[in-house]
Amino acid sequence: MSRLSYALLMCLGVGCATREVVVVRPPPPPPPRPAPPVVVAPAPHPGWMILGERTVNGNYDRDTIPIGAVEGRFHELMFVVEHHAIEMFDVRVTFGDGAVYDVPTRLVFPPDSRSRVIQLPGERVVRKVEFAYGNVPGRGQARVELWGR
């Protein structure tokens, strides 16, 4: 009997250690996370579309909401203010041809309110809208949205 045959016969007996083969599989991948919900602010009125937004906070400052020809032509604008009260003044609309329309206004917006409809001189491409603002007493950030029709 060869040594290998003798070793095999011995392992079949009591004194032989046995080995277990364990197959390790990686855990299954976790299920995909659901996409976060897309929050789209409802239009103030039918036919209105949002043109841009800014988060404003503290002190008196100026801000600009850029708009382009891609959005189209507009004849009316409206501001929507959310979360905190602000005072807005010196609204300036710059049209696609470079002409400027100053809206003489000084508005105090309570939280979650809208401006009156701002009539533009004709239906035109709006390049940007600049405005000065300040928070009314109290701390907090306000979100200012610009809507057009």
The model scores a pTM over 0.85: no
Average pLDDT over residues 52-63: 80
Give pLDDT tens digits for 27-41. 888 877 765 544 444
Q: Is the pLDDT of residue 24 over 80?
A: no
Q: Which of 60-64, 84-88, 97-101, 135-139 has the lowest mean pLDDT?
A: 135-139
Q: 42 — alpha (psi -120 to 50), left (phi > 0) or beta?
A: beta
Query: Which of the given ranges, 16-25, 27-36, 89-98, has the highest pLDDT on average?
Result: 89-98
**Cα separation of 5 and 64, whole Å?**
90
Average pLDDT over residues 52-71: 80
